[in-house]
Amino acid sequence: MVIDRINLNSTLNINLKKKIKIAVVGIGLMGSQHLKALSIARKAKLHSIVDLNKNSIAHAKKFKVPFYRSSTELLNNNKPDAVIVATPNQFHEKHTISFLNAKIPVLLEKPISDNISKAKKIIQSSKKNKTHLLIGYHRRHNSIVTNVKKQIDSGNLGKIVAANVMCWLYKNKDWYKEKWRIRKGGGPLGINLVHDIDLICYLLGPVQFVQASTSNKIRKYDVEDTAIVNFTFQSGALCTLSVSDTIVGPWSYELTAGENPAYPITNQSAYYIGGTKGSIQFPNLKHWFNKGERSWWQPIYHKDMNVRLSRFTLINQINHLCDVVLNKTKPKVTGDDGLQSLKIFDAILKSTKSGKKIKIN
Ligand SMILES: NC(=O)c1ccc[n+]([C@@H]2O[C@H](COP(=O)([O-])OP(=O)(O)OC[C@H]3O[C@@H](n4cnc5c(N)ncnc54)[C@H](O)[C@@H]3O)[C@@H](O)[C@H]2O)c1
C-alpha cells in the first residue's frame, strides 16, 4: 500500500490536534486563490509565502506570516508541514523537487510540468524520498463531479457511448501581460483543457487514441487560441473536446461550476455524457432517460439532480492534502495521473503537427 511506503518522519512531528502548516510558493493568480482557501480550510493554516517578486510581501503582511524570496530561503528557516507550489509550469520541477528532497509533501499546481521528462523526474523524486505528491486537478474534489462519477460507475447510464466537452471562454487583454502565457505551454490547451482532460479521464477511464487540430488565427500568438480534440477511450467510448479562449460564450466548466467566485456564473453545462440507457449533463446537473421503452419516438424525461454548486473545491483539496500529510488517506490525484494527462497533452500537440491519430502508451 502507498500509505506504508511514505516517509513517516515528515508526519511524526505534527501534533494531530494542530492545523497542518502549509507554505504557498508563487502568489499569482492561482497562489492568491490558495491563500483565500487556506484562510477558510478547517484543517490547515498558512505557514509562509514564497515569491520571487517582492510585491508579494503585501500578502505576507495581510496574513501575518513570514515572506521568503526562494524555496531555499524557506527551507533554511522554518520548515512547513506541506507546500503548495503555484509557480509557472516551467519552474514546477525545480521547486517541487527541492521540497520533496526535504521530505515535505507537495500539492503541485497543474499541469505537473511543461514536459514529460521533467514530470518523470518529479515523480521519481516523490518515490525516492517516499514523500507524497498531489497534483492540483481540484475539480475531482467537487461534489457534482463525485455525483457524476457515481452515476457512471453504477451503470445508471448504461454503457457510455460518447461525450462532448466544451471549454469556450474569452480571456481579456490583461491576461496576456504575463509573457509566459503566450509562449509554448501557456495557452488554453495547457491552462484550461488540461483540467477537462483530467476530469473526463477520471470519469471515463484511460484514453487509447488522440487526434487534434489547433488554430491561432484570431490571437496570432505562438500558442493556440482554439483547439478541437478527439479521444477514443480504452472502453471504446468516443469524445470530442473543444477549447477556445477567444469565444464569448457561456459553455465551459469555469463559467458553469461556480467554483471560483471570480467568474460570473452561467446556468449552463459544459459536459454531456451519453450512454445506452441515458445521458447526463453537468455542472447544471441533469439526468436524461426514457421511462419505458428506449426509443427516439418516446418522450425523454430529465431529472434535475439536487447537488449544490460548490465554491469549496479548493478548500476540499486543502483539507484532503492535510489528510494525506497525516496518512489518513492516499492522494486523490497522483503524480502518475498528472503524467498521464501530460502524455495526452503531448499527443494532442503531436497530432496537431502531423494530422495523425496518436496512440497513448
Ligand atoms: N488549478 C487551476 O485552476 C489553475 C488556474 C490557473 C493557474 N494554474 C496553475 O498555477 C500555476 C501558476 O499560474 P498563475 O496563473 O497563478 O501564474 P502567475 O504568473 O499569475 O503567478 C506566478 C507567480 O509565481 C511567482 N514566481 C515566478 N517564478 C518564481 C520563482 N522562481 N520562485 C518563486 N516565485 C516565483 C511569480 O512572481 C508570480 O507571483 C501554473 O502552473 C498554472 O498552470 C492553475
Question: Is pLDDT above 80 for 3?
Answer: no
Instruction: Give the residue-averaged pLDDT of 192-214.
Output: 95
CATH class of the domain comprising 143-309+343-359: alpha beta
3-state secondary structure of 312: coil
- The ligand 1 atom nearest the CA atom of 194: 43
Q: Is 347 in the pocket of ligand 1 (CB under 6 A)?
A: no
Q: Could you tell me the pLDDT band of residue 191, with boundaries at 50, 70 and 90? A: confident
Instruction: Give the residue-averaged pLDDT of 328-332.
Output: 96
Q: Is 204 in the pocket of ligand 1 (CB under 6 A)?
A: no
CB 68 within 8 A of CB 44: no
Contacts of 149 (CB under 8 A, 6+ apart): 202, 203
Which option is the CATH number for 2-139+314-330: 3.40.605.10, 3.40.50.720, 3.20.20.80, 3.40.190.10? 3.40.50.720
Q: Are strands 269-275 and 238-244 parallel, antiparallel or unpaired?
A: unpaired
- Distance between Cα 70 and ligand 1 center (Å): 14
Q: 101-105, 136-140, 185-189, 329-333 — which is least confidently predicted?
A: 185-189
Q: Could you tell me the pLDDT band of residue 197, with boundaries at 50, 70 and 90? A: very high
The Cα–Cα gap between 113 and 323 comes to 24
- Which tens digits make up the pLDDT trace of 260-276? 888 999 999 999 999 99
- Which tens digits make up the pLDDT trace of 18-73? 899 999 999 998 999 999 999 999 999 999 999 999 999 999 999 999 999 999 99
CB 32 within 8 A of CB 59: yes
Q: Is 29 in the pocket of ligand 1 (CB under 6 A)?
A: yes
Share of the chain above pLDDT 70, in %: 94
- Distance between Cα 135 and ligand 1 center (Å): 14
- Which tens digits make up the pLDDT trace of 256-314? 998 888 899 999 999 999 999 999 999 999 999 999 999 999 999 999 887 666 678 99
Contacts of 55 (CB under 8 A, 6+ apart): none
The ranges assigned to domains in the chain are 2-139+314-330, 143-309+343-359
Per-residue pLDDT, 180: 81
